[in-house]
Amino acid sequence: MDLPVDEWKSYVFQKWSLLPKSTQVTISTAETLSDIFLHSSLLLQPEDEMFLQNLSRGYLVEKDPNAPLFYREEGNKKFQQKDYMGATVLYSKMCLKDIMSAQMHGYPERLQPKMMLRKAECLVTLGRRQEASQTISDLESSFAAKPTLTAAQFQILQTNLCRLKMKAQEKESLTETFPAALTKALEDMDLKGENGQVPSASSSVSLRTDPLRGRYLVATKDILPGELLVKEDAFVSVLHPGEMPPLCHLESKWDTRVTNGDLYCHRCLDHTLATVPCDGCSYAKYCSHDCMQQAWDLYHSVECSLGGLLLTLGVFCHIALRSTLVARFEDASKVIRKLCGEIRNRDTCSPERETLVQTLTCDLGGESENKGKMLEPPVPGCDLNGKYESNYNAVFHLLPHTGNHSPEHRFLCALSVSALCRRLEAAGCYKPAAAVPPGSGSELDVWGVAMLKHVLQLHCNAQAITTIQHTGSKENSVTNSRQVRLATGIFPVISLLNHSCSPNTSVSFISTVATVRASQQIGKGQEILHCYGPHQSRMRAAERQQKLRSQYFFDCSCAACQNEKHSAATGPRWEAFCCRSCGALMQGDDVLICGSTSCTESVSRDHLISRLQDLQQQVGMARKLLRNDKPEGAIQLLLGCQRDAQSFLSGEHSLVGEMEDDLAQAYAALGDWQKSATHLQKSLQVVEVRHGPSSVEMGHELFKLAQLFFNGFAIPEALNTIQKAEKVLMVHYGPWNDEIQELQKMKSCLLDLPPIPAGPSVQGPNVFFQ
């Protein structure tokens, strides 16, 4: 998904293996990105482009006149299956285009009013207010100009028209309220104090640099948990397409599955069902006309015809292209000069280029306004005044770690970018950001080098933009939540944060805006740390080190890794086995022995792992029963799994907690809130051991427990749990998180309830009502 599809990767790697050794050495030892790009682009042959083009054709991204009927029929099937969201998505794909096409191809005049009414309904539903108003106005004018309808027909259409006007007004009110709510949420996330050095950060942090840690942020004062430290809009972001297999892998020509591309705006990432499709392709969809126009002006006018190619080359290539397209709207002249200074002929280095490099060097280290006083060279990515902003200059100065990538990987990236440049050149749709000095190579060569740099940068600097998706039983109003990757973006300020396997910050997203909050107290002078993925509560130290070394090219020496290195070799508590005889924890490597001095029990680790895998299979079967609405069967199977687990798993093992959570879901599906809450409370104990009492995972589980108490009408327990959940989630997300909003609604509802009179025949408010 991030990198090109497997077929293209295999093709390029085979091409690399067949290159003469001397050519491989030339590319492997190239000192600059420009040399890597220019050498690789010379090796791109027409047959390579043809192979890539055939792969790109496998993705259906062009308009197809036969698609509307197909999607309408498939939407009807979804509707009959009560999959209303799927039906809505399919209906919205081509309905409006169908109507417009009918208008242009001589639709019968007597049926025109009905068709125009349907068009207006579509426009209202899609939130296209101006077009809907114009269509309604045209319809009224048509009535006045051609009164050919019977009285009954006129009355019906007039009634429908009045209803549609009311619906349009309601839609307009809702549309105005939603951006206002989003604006209010972003305003409430305003940073504390102004930071003149890093505008996207609060005044509580400062930018530092040193040879070992590079650029990093430190606290300028004591910081409390929940304090907002960074609020940064992505320089660019690209929505992940989800599972979009080529046509050869599908049973039908059209894919009816609902993916992220159908549910989220391709520009602002807002959730939407009634998407506004691009006029030129069937892939890009937006939440509104405004978003569609902004995307078109910034980058989609170039990307529109490249949908299949960009899906083939992967998200990183897509972001690299989009970054250079967005850079056209900034003053990128210094970056251009830097690029042009790197692009030189292999035989000569012209005086013009030497002058260019000298000019750039002068720009970066010139005199200050104070006469006779020289400025120190700024931190890379800063402007002359030492300000680090979220702009293309900062993006350009993110490290590509070129020497750490394998020669094969560099060749793959360079050849992919070269193919993209050839396609752009052939289409004649690429306009450069600024004038390229004479003798620096073609404009696309300059930006090809920039795109190659961005692709390599993204290996270490890409930021997953995530969202919380809720699933569960709508009937019981109990939801599960999971974090899913929605898009990938570039955030130059967040890229300043160094990694820790036990970070002191938490990152969340609203639309394309990332927020970084302190997840614990941070003392003045302490570094602000972010987790790159490998977290101590999810992976062992060895696994974390391997992940960080392969993707980020460093060995982690954070406090969590140091503590784990010197701790006893019992492994994490959430992976621990227990003695079948006395229940004590087992210790050791290949052969585990009981940790109790009075017990001599021993067993091989392989035997216990085999038992664990069998148990996981049984739990998987129980979950399948739950998904198929068979909670009774799931409960029986899970209770048997629990009995088996007690003989060899620690009570704090993650699978023990997962089984308790599954039982909570099963009892909730039956409406037995008391049993459900009892099992979820046991699951919470395991979550707390693994992730900590103030972790975001704990917050989500407390949210579920609050729902159960609320549904079971256990008022004191519900209010107490709501308070705990709010406290934890507020630290990680701030006040505008969906779960916090839901908790506040539950609390308001419970506090507004009339008091329940006490009496021998009335259950107290502490008790669940079945």
Q: What pLDDT digit, counting tens, does each position of 554-576 carry?
A: 999 999 988 887 665 567 888 89
Burial class from Cβ neighbours inside 10 Å (0-12, 13-18, 19+) for residue 26 reads: middle
- Residues 749, 739: Cα–Cα separation, whole Å: 15
Mean pLDDT of the region 96-114: 53
**Residue of 193, 192, 200, 219 whose CA lies nearest to 208:** 219
Indicate the DSSP class of residue 737.
-
Amino acid identity, residue 610? S
Number of residues in the chain: 770
Residues in a beta bridge with 487: 239, 465
- pLDDT higher than 60, residue 369: no
Per residue in 213-267, pLDDT (tens digit) is 899 999 999 999 999 999 999 999 999 876 555 545 445 555 666 677 778 899 9
Cα separation, 555 vs 545, in Å, equals 6
Strand partners, 592: 588, 603
- Residue 386 pLDDT exceeds 50: yes
Per-residue pLDDT of 738-760, as tens digits, reads: 899 999 999 998 888 776 555 44
Cβ neighbors of 578 (< 8 A, separation 6 or more) are: 584, 585, 586, 648, 649, 650, 651
The amino acid present at 392, given as its one-letter code, is Y
- pLDDT at residue 262, as a whole number: 78
**464-489 residue pLDDT tens:** 999 887 765 444 456 677 788 999 99
Residue 701 buriedness (CB in 10 A; 0-12 / 13-18 / 19+): buried
Higher per-residue confidence, 80 vs 574: 574
Question: Across the strands, what pairs with 230?
Answer: 201, 516
CA distances from 400 to 313, 342, 404, 450, 468 (A): 19, 15, 9, 11, 30
- Is 548 within 8 Å of 499 (Cβ atoms)? yes
Of the candidates 552, 562, 563, the residue with the CA atom closest to the CA atom of residue 499: 552
pLDDT at residue 76, as a whole number: 64
Residue 172 has pLDDT above 70, yes or no: no
State the average pLDDT over residues 38-47: 94
Task: Indicate the helix (H) or strand (E) that contains 424.
Answer: helix 407-427
Look at residue 618 in the predicted model and tell me its pLDDT. 96
The more confidently predicted of residues 535 and 76 is: 535
Q: Cα separations (Å) of 698 from 477, 520, 711, 741?
A: 20, 14, 20, 17
Q: What is the pLDDT of residue 759?
A: 46
What confidence tier does 356 reach under pLDDT thresholds 50, 70, 90?
Answer: very low
- Is residue 519 pLDDT above 50, yes or no? yes
- To the nearest 5 percent, what fractions of the chain are helix, strand and coil? 55, 10, 35
- Sign of the alpha-carbon dihedral angle for 211, 212, 216, 219: negative
DSSP element (H, E) containing 516 = strand 513-518
Q: Tokens for 600?
A: 């001599």
Name the residue among 719, 702, 706, 577 with its Cα closest to residue 646.
577
Q: Is 412 helix (H, G, I), strand (E, B) or coil?
A: helix
Those residues whose C-beta lies under 8 Å from the C-beta of residue 730, and which sit 6 or more positions away, are 226, 737, 740
pLDDT of residue 431: 56
Enter the pTM of the model.
0.80
Contact 404, 234 (CB under 8 A): no
Residue type, 658: E
Percent of the chain with pLDDT over 70: 69
Strands 276-277 and 478-490: unpaired
Q: How far apart are CA 581 and CA 583, in angstroms?
A: 6
pLDDT at 513 over 90: yes
> Does residue 31 sit in helix, strand or coil?
coil
- Which residue, among 697, 693, 752, 675, has the nearest Cα to 719 in the 3D structure? 752
Least confidently predicted of 304-313, 443-452, 465-474, 741-750: 465-474
User: What tokens were used for 615?
Assistant: 């148990």
Name the strand (E) or helix (H) holding 26: helix 21-28
- Which of these ranges, 87-91, 409-413, 688-692, 753-757, has the smallest mean pLDDT? 87-91
At position 34, the amino acid (one-letter code) is S
221 DSSP β-pair partners: none
